[in-house]
Chains A and B, each alone.
Chain A
Amino acid sequence: MTKIAEAGKGAFGFVDDRVGAAKWVKKNLNKVFPEHWSFMLGEIAMYSFIILLLSGVFLSLFFVPSQQEIIYHGSYAPLSGLPMSQAYASTIDMSFDVRGGLLMRQIHHWAALIFLAAMIIHMLRVFFTGAYRKPREFNWLIGIGLLTLGILEGFAGYSLPDDLLSGTGLRIAEAIVQAIPLIGSYAAFFLFGGLFPGSIFISRLYTIHVLLIPGIILALITVHVMLVWYQKHTQYPGPGRTEKNVVGPPFMPIYMAKAGGFFFIVFGITAFLGALFSINPIWLYGPYNPSQISAGSQPDFYMGWLDGLVRMTPNIETHAFGHTISWNILIPALIVPGIFFTTLALFPFIESWVNGDKGEHHLLDRPRNAATRTSLGAAGLTFMIVALLNGGNDIVATHFGLTINGIMWFTRIAIFVLPPIVFMITKRICLGLQHKDRDTVLHGRETGRLVMLPHGEYIEVHEQISTDDQWTLTQHKQYQALVAPVNVDANGLERPVGLKERIRLGLSKWMYGEQVAKPTATDVHELEGGHH
Chain B
Amino acid sequence: MALHRKHILSGFLGLVVTGSFAAGVFEPELKAQGSLPDTIFSLRPEGGKELDPARTYNKVLDILNEKYVGDNLPSARKLTYTAIRGLLNAADDPYTRFLDPDEFRQLKEENDGEFDGIGATLEPQPTKEGYIKVLRPVPGGPAETAGVKRGDMITKIDGKPTTGLDVDEAVKLIRGKAGTIVKLSIKRSGQAALVEKAITRRPVELPILEYRMLEGGVGYISLLQFNEVSDRKIELAVRDLEAKGMKALVFDLRGNPGGLLTSAIDISSRFVKPGSDVVWIEEAQESDRKKTNGRVRYLGERWPFTILVNRTSASASEIVAGAVKDNKTGTVIGATTFGKGLVQTLMPLDDGSAVLITTAKYLTPSRGDINRSKTQRGGVVPDIEVEVTEGQFLKGEDPQLKKALEHLHQKIGYTKTGKNTTGAPKNP
Binding between chains A and B:
no
